[in-house]
Amino acid sequence: MIEALRPAFVIVRREVRDQFRDWRIIFPIVGLTIVFPFIMNWTAQQMLDFTNQYGATLIADRLVPFLLMIVGFFPISVSLVIALESFVGEKERSSIEPLLNSPLKDWQLYLGKLISSTVPPLISSYLGMAVYLGGLIINHVELPEPVIMLQVVVLTTVQAFMMVAAAVVVSTQATSVRAANLLSSFIVIPVSFLIQWESLVMFWGNISTLWWVVVGITVFGGLLVRIGLAHFQREELLGREVDVLKIRWGWNLLVKEFRGGAANPVDWYRRVVSRSVRGLAVPLTIVTGLVVISLVLGTTFVSTYGFLIPTDKLANAGESLNNLSQVWPMFQASSILLIWWQNVRVLIIAMILGVFTFGVLGVLPLMATMAVSGYLGAVLTTSGVPLVSILALFLPHGVLEVPAAVLATAAVLRAGAILATPTPGKTIMEVWLANLADWLKVMVGIVLPALVIASLIEILVTPRIAVMVLGN
Amino acid sequence: MIKADGLTKYFDNFLAVDQVDLTVSEGKVLALLGKNGAGKTTTVRMLTSILRPSAGSASVAGYDVVRQADRVRASVGVLTEHHGLYGRMNSGEYLVFFGNLYGLAESETRRRAATLLERFGLADAAKKRLGEYSKGMRQKLALVRALLHNPPVILLDEPTSAMDPESARIVRDAIVQLRAEGKTILLCTHNLYEGEELADYVAIIQNGRIILNDTVENVKLGLLGPAEYEARLAAPLDGILPVLPRGVELRSQGVDWLRFRVTDPAFDNPLVLKSLLDQKLPVVVFQEVPRSLEQAFLWAIRRTDEEVSDD
């Protein structure tokens, strides 16, 4: 194994040496290592004095580790610049081809670039944090608890890893350094949101939550590396494509993948859609499992957040529903559309979330819905509503709605998984468009029609059952 | 050592290389000639396992370019069209880096690097940063890099294009020596005199297809016909129509020269010379008319272009 890693470290050594010969990299790193922590020390001192004047010691306690995080974060932002340039920069300078001609394996080259982009800024980050903490000691400021300091160091490390992993993916796929820099906003913006959220947690939340953030970022970074390697193609790195938005090409590919060579709609349903559904066997199993887990979890929330519905309100539920149906246009087409669109919108949001998280967050809307359903069901049963009655309110439309949502979510999960799977001869964009087409096939072919029927039932049938069940 | 069967490459719908068949055996040099964009670099990149062929197969140094890509890369020295050196390194650091990538021990790399740098006249610039190198020096260093791991197969893309005549001579001599050492060499060049001087075989590629693949002599014979000979005189012919021996075909005639073809030069040419002298014609030069590979190449390209436009 060590012998296999050797070529990667040959790359690391060269890259790091090259970086330390470039004043444009050295200057900010040195500045952020030496100058910036002193500024932060001064800021910390001023703010501590200010907050202590008003007895806000809690803020003061949390300010010190927060500033430690900021001191650590700034140098690792340099890693983004280095990583973005790692492949596409060599491509622009034509130095990539001799590397590609060498007997390096793809993963060795990739790992070498990944490590070399991470290590110098990370060392600078550690040094900066050490200088900051040293300054605190000199100024007799109480240091944060060791576990919090460790947390900040680990968080900084995994954030650097995640940012570099994302930037290297961008660098392997971009056609020029300019394009890579422009695409970096896809990394900078989410990371800045993450930092803001972490800051909130540090000041007002439970700091131990940040360990979960560490786990999440590590998994996400690992997925990014997996994706980068899966779509690393020597051929693409030598391409001479210009940076143009190929809308027509993308549209044509999407349409072609969506049609799947079907001769007519019947053929499309029988051959193309069924093939897509067959490919969902594993994600369907996973999503079904998650649905069950969410339902069970939802029911357990009752013990913490539960409440009892007053008996008189339950007794009048039938009458209330009757009154509601008088004022609310329950049996109209607009209501059907409203419910249908609400469901579709959630599935689209799931897809969008899935796109940016390799399917992981795409399951959240369904899980949240099922958890809420489980919770409501549990609240109703503990309030004395028979389970059969609850099922009668839910099952008529749910029997279509839930499987449709499970199917759509499984398609999102699969799309994310495929993105992280090697697809020789295809670019990330081609794979992504094929995934989108697959999701559309399932949506258009099965999910949307099923949701229309479910909405019809929910408007025309379920309320009548509800009145019948609750009226009695 | 290099064998390609029906090698084909599509970029989306564009056919860049179309069923290329090539064979270069050990100790031979094949010159791959073609216009810009004809498919030379794409062919070389497929043979170095960087590009995956859309169809066909190829083996280099006995290894399949698709299935044994790592071994192919380890067995090949490639001089690419763009040298892409690292400007902040010096030649020693640069060559040690590549030596390490090819699994050479550092002492071995340094020994070979010193020999090659000396051979190509770069030893004096060893301490200079590569960013300060001239274009020709960069090209020579890229060639040194390609030869560093002593590969049995060498693929050279325009090896002397940026060099001054002296450096180009050094590189050409090196290629001759490498051939003598038994290396298999594929040479892509626009310099047809270089191709003619160095190559045992010539393959002309046009629009991705090999339109001709043979020895240099056969290519010239096939495209330009049998050799012509020329006699130059010290005085004008003044309208005299020289009588030539039977079987000798007079091809053209000028004020003080004439060109002819013979069936068997070794037998016929002395007879022609004797005949001219017998007719009191003052012959001062008697030689084969020089015919370059360039003429043959241009002829072949023009013919293919005409065939394409006819279609």
Domain CATH code at residue B65: 3.40.50.300
User: What is the predicted pLDDT for the residue at A2?
Assistant: 78
Question: Taking CA atoms, what residue in A is nearest to B151?
Answer: A102
Chain A residues touching B76 at Cβ < 8 A: 101
Query: Residue A244's pLDDT is what?
Result: 63
Name the residue among B80, B97, B102 with its Cβ closest to that of A14: B97
Question: How close does chain A come to B91, measured CA to CA in Å?
Answer: 13
| Structure tokens belonging to residue A341 | 């669109």
Tell me whether B48 touches chain A (CB under 8 Å): yes
CB A18 within 8 A of CB B89: yes
Q: Name the residue with higher pLDDT: A83 or A245.
A: A83
Instruction: Take residue B25 and report the two structure tokens written for it.
Output: 């055996």
**From the CA of B147, how many Å to the nearest CA of chain A?**
12
Among chain A residues, the shortest Cα distance to B68 is held by A103
Residue B239 and residue B192 share a domain? no
Name the residue among B141, B45, B34 with its Cα closest to residue B94.
B141
Rounded average pLDDT over A377-390? 84
Blockwise average pLDDT, block size 10, chain B, 311 residues: 93 88 94 89 92 93 93 93 87 94 93 93 90 90 94 92 85 92 92 88 91 87 85 86 86 89 90 90 90 82 76 63
Q: For residue A88, what pLDDT band results from cuts at 50, 70 and 90?
A: confident
Q: Give me the sign of the Cα torsion angle A62, A63, A68, A70.
A: positive
Mean pLDDT of A31-52: 84
pLDDT of residue B287: 93
A300 Rama sector, left if φ>0, alpha if ψ -120 to 50, beta otherwise: alpha
Question: Does B66 reside within a domain?
Answer: yes
From chain A, pick out residues whose CB is under 8 angstroms from the CB of B102: 102-103
Q: Are residues B116 and B243 in the same domain?
A: no
Domain co-membership, B250 together with B130: no
Enclosing H/E stretch for A438:
helix A428-442
Q: Which of A18, A102, A238 sits opposite B101 (nearest CB)?
A: A102
Question: Of B176, B191, B215, which residue sits at a domain end?
Answer: B215
Among B50, B78, B142, the residue with its CB nearest the CB of A238 is B50
Q: Do A98 and B97 touch (CB under 8 A)?
A: no
The tokens describing B294, both together, are 């360039």
* Cβ-defined contact of A98 to B142 (cutoff 8 Å): yes
Say if residue B52 is in the same domain as residue B200.
yes
pLDDT grade for A184, boundaries at 50, 70 and 90: confident
Q: Does the pTM of the predicted model rise above 0.80?
A: no
**Pairing of β B55-60 and β B209-215:** unpaired
CB-based contact, B102 to chain A, within 8 Å:
yes
Instruction: Compute the nearest-CA separation of B46 from chain A (Å).
Output: 10
C-alpha B162/C-alpha B140 separation (Å) is 9
- Nearest by CB to B70, which of A18, A103, A424? A103
* Numbers of helices and strands, H then E, in chain B: 10, 14
The per-residue pLDDT for range A442-464, each reduced to its tens digit, is 999 999 999 999 999 988 888 88
Same domain, B66 and B199: yes
Q: How many helices (H) and strands (E) does chain A have?
A: 25, 0
Chain A CB contacts of B84 under 8 Å are 90, 93-98
Claim to verify: residue B170 and residue B241 sit in the same structural domain: no
What is the pLDDT, as a whole number, of residue B32? Answer: 93
From the list A18, A100, A103, the residue facing B88 with the nearest CB is A18
**Among A282-286, A379-383, B65-69, the least confident range:** A379-383
Residues B241 and B187 in one domain: no
Q: Does one domain contain both B54 and B190?
A: yes
**Predicted confidence band at A241 (pLDDT cuts at 50, 70, 90)?**
low
* DSSP E strand boundaries for chain B: 2-11, 14-24, 29-34, 55-60, 63-64, 76-79, 153-157, 184-188, 201-206, 209-215, 229-233, 249-253, 257-261, 283-288
Output DSSP code: residue B68: T
The predicted model gives A25-39 an average pLDDT of: 83
- Chains A, B: CB contacts within 8 A come to 69
For residue A327, is pLDDT > 70? no
* B82, B89, B101: residue with CB nearest A97: B82
Across the interface, whether the CB atoms of A18 and B89 are under 8 A apart is answered yes
In B, minimum Cα distance to A7 occurs at B101
Q: Which residues of A touch B74 (CB under 8 A)?
A: 103
Residues of B in contact with A90 (CB under 8 A): 84
Inter-CA distances, A256 with A120, A253, A262, A266, A417, Å: 46, 5, 10, 17, 22
Which of B187, B215, B243 is a domain's end point?
Answer: B215
- Which domain does B244 fall in, by range? 228-288
In chain A, which residues have their Cβ closer than 8 Å to the Cβ of B9? none
| Span A158-181, average pLDDT | 87
Answer whether A98 sits within 8 Å of B98, measured CB to CB. yes
A21/B88 Cβ within 8 A: yes
How far from A312 is each of A309, A319, A382, A417, CA to CA, in Å? 9, 12, 15, 51
> What does the pLDDT average to over A285-290?
93
Residue position matching structure tokens 């897509």: A276
Q: Which residues of B touch A6 (CB under 8 A)?
A: 100
Closest of A420, A416, A423, A458 to residue A439, by C-alpha: A416
- Determine the residue type at B260: F
* Residue A201 to residue A296: CA distance in whole angstroms: 28
Contact assignment for A10 to B83 by CB distance below 8 Å = no
Are B194 and B238 in the same domain?
A: no
Report the chain B residue with the minimal C-alpha distance to residue A95.
B84
For residue A336, pLDDT beyond 90: no
User: Which of B169, B193, B215 is a domain's end point?
Assistant: B215
Count structural domains, chain B: 2
- Percentage of chain A lying above the pLDDT 90 cut: 25
Tell me what ipTM this predicted complex has: 0.82
Closest residue in B to A93 (Cα–Cα): B84
Interface of chain A toward chain B, CB-CB under 8 angstroms: 6-7, 10, 14, 17-18, 21-22, 90, 93-105, 234-235, 238, 424-425
Q: CA neighbours within 13 Å on the CB side: how many for A236?
A: 25
Compute the nearest-CA separation of B166 from chain A (Å). Answer: 26
Are residues A103 and B100, on separate chains, in Cβ contact within 8 Å? no
Is any Cβ of chain A less than 8 angstroms from the Cβ of B83? yes
**B222 domain residue, yes or no:** no
B78 contact residues in A (CB cutoff 8 A): 97-98, 101
d(CA B37, CA B41): 8
Check pLDDT > 80 for residue A422.
Answer: no
Q: What is the DSSP string of A51-97?
A: HHHTT-HHHHHHHHHHHHHHHHHHHHHHHHHHHHHTTHHHHHTT-HH
Within a domain: B13: yes
How far is CA A374 from its chain centroid? 25
pLDDT at A413 over 60: yes
- Residue B2 main-chain phi, psi, to 5 deg: -125, 125
B50 part of contact set with chain A, CB < 8 Å: yes
| B80 contact A CB<8A | yes
Alpha-carbon gap, residue B233 to B286, rounded angstroms: 9
Tell me: pLDDT of A394 over 90: no
Domain boundary assignment for chain A: 2-237, 247-471
Query: In B, which residues are within 8 Å of A103 by CB distance?
Result: 70-71, 73-74, 101-103
Residues B263 and B175 in one domain: no
Asked if the Cβ–Cβ distance from A95 to B70 is below 8 Å, we say: no
Q: Is A444 helix (H, G, I), strand (E, B) or coil?
A: helix
pLDDT of residue A471: 64
Q: Which of A12, A90, A97 to mutate to test the interface with B (most CBs of B within 10 A)?
A: A97
- Using CA atoms, how far residue B157 sits from A241, A334, B78, B191, B226, in Å, is 22, 69, 8, 11, 31
Given CB atoms, is B66 within the 8 Å cutoff of chain A?
no
pLDDT at A314 over 80: no
- Which residues, in sequence order, are CB contacts of A166 under 8 Å at separation 6+? A186, A187, A221, A224
Nearest to A96 among B51, B84, B93 (CB): B84
List C-alpha distances in Å: A120 to A28, B86, B163: 12, 19, 39
- Chain B residues inside the 8 Å CB shell of A93: 84
**C-alpha to C-alpha distance for B49 and B17, rounded to whole angstroms:** 15
Judged by CB atoms closer than 8 Å, whether chains meet at A93 and B84 is answered as yes
Copy the structure tokens of residue A208: 């131990």
**Whether residue B179 is found in the same domain as residue B147:** yes
Instruction: Tell me, yes or no, whether B248 lies in a domain.
Output: yes
The shortest C-alpha distance from A8 to chain B (Å) reads 9
Distance CA B74, CA B92 (A): 21
Check A96 against B70: CB less than 8 A apart. Answer: no
pLDDT value, residue A245: 66
CB contact under 8 A, A94 and B82: yes
Look at residue A325 and tell me whether its pLDDT is greater than 90.
no
B22 touches chain A (CB under 8 A): no
B271 and B189 housed in the same domain:
no
Min Cα–Cα distance to chain B from A343, Å? 39
